[in-house]
């Protein structure tokens, strides 16, 4: 209850602040660009798994989005993935109210304010495949209301986000009613010298068991060198499943080039997760392991043809480490990955 109360208070304060400042906001420009903007991301890849001596080609993503403004305060976005590992999925569908340049209220389906790596779009990823935190443990989109306030206007390097969500997702809304909403909150501290610290929390109830999650992380840029670390802890109410721990760390060094490639990025990553359950019970009413505990070391090189994250060739090798008794998913094993990502 304390968890939900704090997040609700945080969201309520942002709503109140937005309403109070809406009438005070002045815009120096009289011209509004109503033209919808179309964006897209295509990721195609080749993967080879030495352990099973098999390979495949895959269209990992074929995303198309449209966004724009209706007025100075109202904007919108809709994004669909025509090939999320072969599946068509609606990703984002929301309207946003910005009463001031520092604040926003978003209503619809969106990525919930939680974690660092899970918030990156495919074209912003450093590696071909996401971290365990972003893919297995903390990856959530949902329908609801979220608020955001940037305190930079008050000379505080702080951004706060909070949201209340259905827990249903976009595809299960017609007859969905609940008295167990999901809650999420995120705090970002922007420190000097390109240091960004993130703290976030979330509580969800996928089925019968409520789950509580806490996340902390930071990223640092020193010249062409980038570091990032993130930790996630997940607890299942009444100890319905053992606590989950997940960690993601990475380093990236950029080498700028004058010809052909805009830059070359040399990357390394270590991430791990303990046994994980998605929170849905089996036929016996118990939570089971959906993703076995594992560790992974990834090395890679990214060749950027144009501006960073617009046309990248990603070359990665992922080395997985499992316990002997673990059940390995066929796509979660050591592999060589060659991926071409194009953003338009």
- Residue 316: which CATH number? 2.40.160.10
Neighbouring C-alpha atoms within 13 Å toward the C-beta of 147: 20
- Residue 266's pLDDT band, with cuts at 50, 70 and 90, is very high
Give residue-wise pLDDT tens across range 42-71: 999 999 999 999 999 999 999 999 999 999
Please provide the size of the chain in residues.
344
The model's pTM is 0.87
Note whether residue 202 is domain-resident: yes
**pLDDT value of residue 333:** 96
Classify residue 40: in a domain, yes or no. no
With contact defined as beta carbons under 8 Å apart, do 104 and 23 qualify?
no
Give CA–CA dist 113/269, Å, rounded.
24
In a domain, 39, yes or no: no
pLDDT score, position 20 = 46
Q: Kindly tell me if the per-residue pLDDT of 320 is higher than 70.
A: yes
Q: How far apart are CA 7 and CA 141, in angstroms?
A: 18
Give domain status of residue 51, yes or no: yes
What residue has token string 């809304």?
173
Quick check: is 27 in a domain? no
Determine which of 164-168, 209-213, 256-260 has the lowest per-residue pLDDT on average.
256-260
DSSP string computed for 255-299: EE-SSSSSEEEEEEEEEEE--B--S-B-TTS-B--SB--EEEEEE
- Mean pLDDT of the region 15-37: 61
pLDDT digits (tens, 9 = 90+) for 188-223: 999 888 999 999 999 999 889 999 999 999 999 999
Q: Which of 3-17, 161-175, 270-284 is least confident? A: 3-17
Q: Is the pLDDT at 79 greater than 60, yes or no?
A: yes
Question: Is the Cα torsion angle 110, 112, 118, 120 positive or negative in sign?
Answer: positive
With a CB cutoff of 8 Å and minimum separation 6, the contacts of 31 are: none
How many domains are there within the chain?
1
d(C-alpha 227, C-alpha 149), whole Å: 26
Instruction: Give pLDDT, residue 161.
Output: 97
Q: Rounded distance, CA 86 to CA 42, Å?
A: 13
Residue 124 has pLDDT above 80, yes or no: yes
Query: Taking phi first (over 0 means left), then psi (-120 to 50 degrees means alpha), and beta for anything else, what does residue 51 get?
Result: alpha
Structure tokens at 318: 């992922």
In what helix (H) or strand (E) does residue 159 lie, and over which residues does it extend? strand 158-165
Give the residue among 288, 285, 295 at the shortest CA–CA distance from 334: 295
Residue 42 lies in a domain: no
Q: Which residues neighbour 237 within 8 Å (Cβ) at sequence distance 6 or greater?
A: 209, 210, 211, 212
pLDDT interval class at 12 (50, 70, 90): low
Q: How many CB atoms lie within 10 A of CB 184?
A: 26
Q: Pick 169 or 294 by higher pLDDT.
A: 294
| Averaged pLDDT for residues 173-184 | 88
Residue 300 has pLDDT above 70, yes or no: yes
8 A C-beta contact, residue 102 and residue 147 = no
Q: What is the mean predicted confidence (pLDDT) over 5-15?
A: 53
> Residue 37 falls within a domain, yes or no?
no
Full DSSP string of 82-113: EEETTEEEEEEEEEEE-SSTTEEEEEEEEE-S
Q: Is residue 34 part of a domain?
A: no
pLDDT band at residue 22 under the 50/70/90 scheme = very low
Please give the helix or strand (H or E) that residue 251 lies within, else none.
strand 244-256
Range of the domain at 325: 2-19+47-343
């Amino acid at each position: 209850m304390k968890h939900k109360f704090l997040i609700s208070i945080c969201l309520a304060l942002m709503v109140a602040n937005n309403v109070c400042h809406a009438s005070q906001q002045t815009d120096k420009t009289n011209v509004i660009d109503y033209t919808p903007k179309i964006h897209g991301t295509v990721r195609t890849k080749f993967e080879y798994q030495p352990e099973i001596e098999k390979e495949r080609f895959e269209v990992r993503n074929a995303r198309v989005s449209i966004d724009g403004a209706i007025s100075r305060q109202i904007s919108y976005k809709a994004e669909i993935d025509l090939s999320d590992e072969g599946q068509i999925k609606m990703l984002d569908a929301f309207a946003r109210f910005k009463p001031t340049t520092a604040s926003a209220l978003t209503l619809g389906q969106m990525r919930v304010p939680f974690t660092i790596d899970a918030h990156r779009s495919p074209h912003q990823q450093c590696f071909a495949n996401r971290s365990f935190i972003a893919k297995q443990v903390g990856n959530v989109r949902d329908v609801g209301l979220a608020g955001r306030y940037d305190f930079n206007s008050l000379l505080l390097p702080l951004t706060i986000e909070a949201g209340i969500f259905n827990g249903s997702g976009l595809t299960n809304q017609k007859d969905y009613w609940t008295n167990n909403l999901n809650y999420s909150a995120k705090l970002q501290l922007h420190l000097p010298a390109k240091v960004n610290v993130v703290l976030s929390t979330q509580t969800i109830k996928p089925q019968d068991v409520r789950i509580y999650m806490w996340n902390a992380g930071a990223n640092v840029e020193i010249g062409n060198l980038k570091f990032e670390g993130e930790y996630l802890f997940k607890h299942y109410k009444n100890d319905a499943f053992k606590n989950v721990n997940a960690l993601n760390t990475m380093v990236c060094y950029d080498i700028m080039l004058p010809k052909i490639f805009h830059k070359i990025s040399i990357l390394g990553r270590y991430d791990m997760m303990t046994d994980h359950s998605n929170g849905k019970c089996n036929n016996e009413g118990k939570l089971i392991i959906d993703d076995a505990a594992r560790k992974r070391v990834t090395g890679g090189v990214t060749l950027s043809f144009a501006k960073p994250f617009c046309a990248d060739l990603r070359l990665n090798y992922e080395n997985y480490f499992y316990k002997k008794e673990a059940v390995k998913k066929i796509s979660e094993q050591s592999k060589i990955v060659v991926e071409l990502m194009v953003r338009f």
